[in-house]
Amino acid sequence: MAGVPLFPVPRSLEWLDGPGPPPGAPLAVRHDPDLPEQGYSLDRDVSGTRIGYRDDAGLRYARQTLDQIEADRELAGRAVRVRDRPDFAVRGFMLDISRDRVPTRRALRRYVEILAAARMNQLELYTEHTFAFAGQEAVWAAASPLTGDDMRWLDALCAAHGITLVANQNTLGHMERWLATEPHRDRAEKPEGFSIGGRHRPPSTLEPTEENAAFAVGLVRELAATVRARRVNIGADEPWELGRGRSAADAADRGVGRVYLDQLLRIATPLLEDGFEVEFWADVLADHPAVARDLPTTGLIPVVWQYDGPEHARAALDRASEEQHRQWKIDGFDMEALAGGFRKRAEALTAAGRPFWVAPGTGAWKSFVGRLDNAVENVLDAADAGLEHGATGYVLTSWGDHGHHEPPTITYPPLLLAAAVSWCVETNRDLDLAAALDRVVFAEDAGLGAVLTAIGSVAAALDAPILNSSALFTVLFEGGDAAAVPAVTPAALAHAERVLADAAEALAPARPAGPDGDIAVRETAQAVELARFAVALLAAGGIAELTPNAAVDLLIRLDALLVEQRACWLLSARPGGLDDSLARFAPLRAALVGRALQ
């Protein structure tokens, strides 16, 4: 159904002979219990319009389709029959608000509006320390956290748009902000910290004890009390130190997988008894498949995640250095499994006959302008594997690793694609994403959709594949060391600069009609300029090849970019976390200063 100006493209759309309804023709709406959940029927001909629906969601989506038809002059004049229903009952979006960038209410409202227009029906805000937990000011005071009032406001807004707001609080790993404070230091599995990727990190995992489980359950209950959903996400992913610290003897005796399962159930069971469904990230199960067979079969939802498409992962693995492969082996990572995509990632659960949800990623983080080619592959892989194995939930994740420098606009292209394919992958696989962005997000043919899809292609055009990151971000994060990324040809860098320069030129006069259009333009323009800076540094050969004068020029350019980054951040995010995010550029700036002084 290429070229159909409806979003998402319906499962079945049939053009009929004859004209559509004349002005003033009747609209008949009837409840039809024989339709599938969230499904609807829509018939329009000269006699009028007839809508059938099974539930409130189906009626909402039928009216969305009708509004789109009536807004299109050509479609409005034609007779049409639509039969539609979703592939996945739960179509969610998870936004990381714990890696520095905590969105303003205005930014959250904009996300809710887009999710509703895209037929996503669940929202999660990934939380570590960015909710104002009672009595825990030492943890969140500098983070500009969401408050209970913020969550209740957002919950009401989501409900009005047909979206379930699910409390999401990590409970095992990624707890470094808690463990850095005096009241909680002794909760750490490994208080001295740990090494991963050749770098030392502070402690991040809670020791698997009854006391820590009760503490974690208390956090989830406090957050969940601010929303009406009877579903929560307890995280429990990437407990890097588990079995390597205080639980080492237990893990040696019973296995890390069993230690993990026991702690997972200590946290999940009280919440299940409270009447919640409990989501958790299923990455540990991939490494300990025997554990999957012992999971409770009711109420506990394993969510299988992967953020690199199979082909991209294969290319990145093939281009990785011997040193990188050696480090992965030291860290105990089975990186080859990534090239198998969601089917490989979910093997432990499919072998155990356990249902699960799928969670691809936007690919926006650690990129500045996105990794759209990878995101498209990843989003489709999740939908195909999920349908193949009967998954009922699909949650697109957007993380903020290492500073969350990317503005909301960079998430919009993969968000719309994921919404469309989780509705119906068959009819939306080849979606015209630029056109959909202009219609659904920006409310006019302003060309911003084409800009976002063009800049999102730059990472792939560089032909320097990296897992879970882009070469543009990595070269800056690694202090300007060009050797930290696969070699990029001068021709590829020249192409990237042309695409980004064209994008900057197109953005300058853009004035989208959609809400916050001016903010979208300015934030996107800043992301483009950060990417152009990275291209310029790579084209110069990295820090090591800069002359002192060239280093001075780049230093002046970087300082101006950081001033604008601060201003753009405050357009859609709260001030807490901003200084930490900008501090990620400090090694690069120091390297430029050092080079300039030579």
DSSP track, 93-126: EEEE-SSS-PBPHHHHHHHHHHHHHTT--EEEEE
User: Measured on CA atoms in the order 274, 275, 279, 282, is the torsion positive or negative?
Assistant: positive
| pLDDT score recorded for residue 556 | 98
Cα angle: 547, vertex 549, 555; to 5 degrees: 100
Tokens describing residue 343: 């089917």
Residues 423/87, Cβ–Cβ less than 8 Å: yes
Domain segments of the chain as ranges: 12-84, 90-448, 459-596
| pLDDT score recorded for residue 2 | 56
Cα of 73 vs its chain's centroid, Å: 35
Helical packing angle, 372-388 and 310-319, nearest 10°: 130
Taking the C-alpha atoms of residue 327 and residue 321, their distance in angstroms, rounded to an integer, is: 10
pTM (predicted TM-score):
0.97
Low-confidence winner among 108-122, 265-279, 282-296 (lowest mean pLDDT): 282-296
Residues 408/523, Cβ–Cβ less than 8 Å: yes
Cα of 197 vs its chain's centroid, Å: 23
pLDDT band at 514 (very low <50, low <70, confident <90, very high): confident
User: Measured on CA atoms in the order 221, 227, 233, 238, is the torsion positive or negative?
Assistant: negative
Cα of 6 vs its chain's centroid, Å: 24
Taking the C-alpha atoms of residue 154 and residue 136, their distance in angstroms, rounded to an integer, is: 22
User: By percentage, how much of the chain surpasses pLDDT 90?
Assistant: 93
Provide the Cα torsion 32, 33, 34, 38; round to 10°. Answer: 90
Farthest-apart Cα atoms in the chain, separation: 81
Tokens describing residue 430: 């080849």
| pLDDT score recorded for residue 445 | 74
Rounded mean pLDDT, 92-96: 98
Q: What is the mean pLDDT of the chain?
A: 96
pLDDT band at 181 (very low <50, low <70, confident <90, very high): very high
| pLDDT score recorded for residue 1 | 54
| pLDDT score recorded for residue 222 | 98
Strand pairing report for 194-196 and 277-281: unpaired
Taking the C-alpha atoms of residue 36 and residue 85, their distance in angstroms, rounded to an integer, is: 7
Asked whether residue 444 carries a pLDDT value surpassing 80, the answer given is: no
Low-confidence winner among 55-59, 466-470, 514-518, 533-537 (lowest mean pLDDT): 514-518
In CATH terms, 12-84 corresponds, of 3.40.50.620, 1.10.150.20, 1.20.1340.10, 3.30.379.10, to: 3.30.379.10
Helical packing angle, 105-117 and 148-160, nearest 10°: 20
Helical packing angle, 448-456 and 490-507, nearest 10°: 160
Identify the residue with better confidence: 293 or 38.
38
| DSSP-derived secondary structure letter, 192 | T
Cα angle: 448, vertex 449, 452; to 5 degrees: 85
Asked whether residue 129 carries a pLDDT value surpassing 90, the answer given is: yes
Taking the C-alpha atoms of residue 501 and residue 488, their distance in angstroms, rounded to an integer, is: 19
pLDDT band at 561 (very low <50, low <70, confident <90, very high): very high
DSSP track, 433-473: HHHHIIIIISSS--SHHHHHHHHHTHHHHTT--BTTB-HHH
Rounded mean pLDDT, 36-47: 98
Taking the C-alpha atoms of residue 503 and residue 263, their distance in angstroms, rounded to an integer, is: 49
Asked whether residue 201 carries a pLDDT value surpassing 70, the answer given is: yes
In total, the chain counts a number of residues equal to 598
Helical packing angle, 448-456 and 517-539, nearest 10°: 30
Q: How are the residues of the chain apportioned to helix, strand and coil, as percentages rounded to the nearest 5?
A: 50, 15, 35
Phi, psi of 84 (to 5 degrees): -145, 150
Q: Is cis: bond before 8, omega within 30 of 0?
A: yes
pLDDT digits over 152-178, tens only?
Answer: 999 999 999 999 999 999 999 999 999
User: CATH homologous superfamily for 90-448?
Assistant: Glycosidases (3.20.20.80)
pLDDT digits over 217-254, tens only?
Answer: 999 999 999 999 999 999 999 999 999 999 999 999 99
Rounded mean pLDDT, 15-19: 94
Low-confidence winner among 64-78, 237-251, 284-298, 471-485 (lowest mean pLDDT): 284-298
Strand pairing report for 27-31 and 78-84: unpaired
Which 3 state secondary structure label does DSSP give 165?
Answer: strand
Which 3 state secondary structure label does DSSP give 131?
Answer: strand
Domains 12-84 and 90-448 share a fold: no
Cα of 484 vs its chain's centroid, Å: 25
User: Measured on CA atoms in the order 98, 99, 105, 110, is the torsion positive or negative?
Assistant: negative
Asked whether residue 121 carries a pLDDT value surpassing 80, the answer given is: yes
Cα–Cα distance list, 501 to 229, 474, 559 (Å): 45, 21, 20
Residues 310/264, Cβ–Cβ less than 8 Å: no
| pLDDT score recorded for residue 33 | 97
Residues 438/432, Cβ–Cβ less than 8 Å: no
Asked whether residue 40 carries a pLDDT value surpassing 90, the answer given is: yes
Provide the Cα torsion 565, 566, 571, 574; round to 10°. Answer: 130
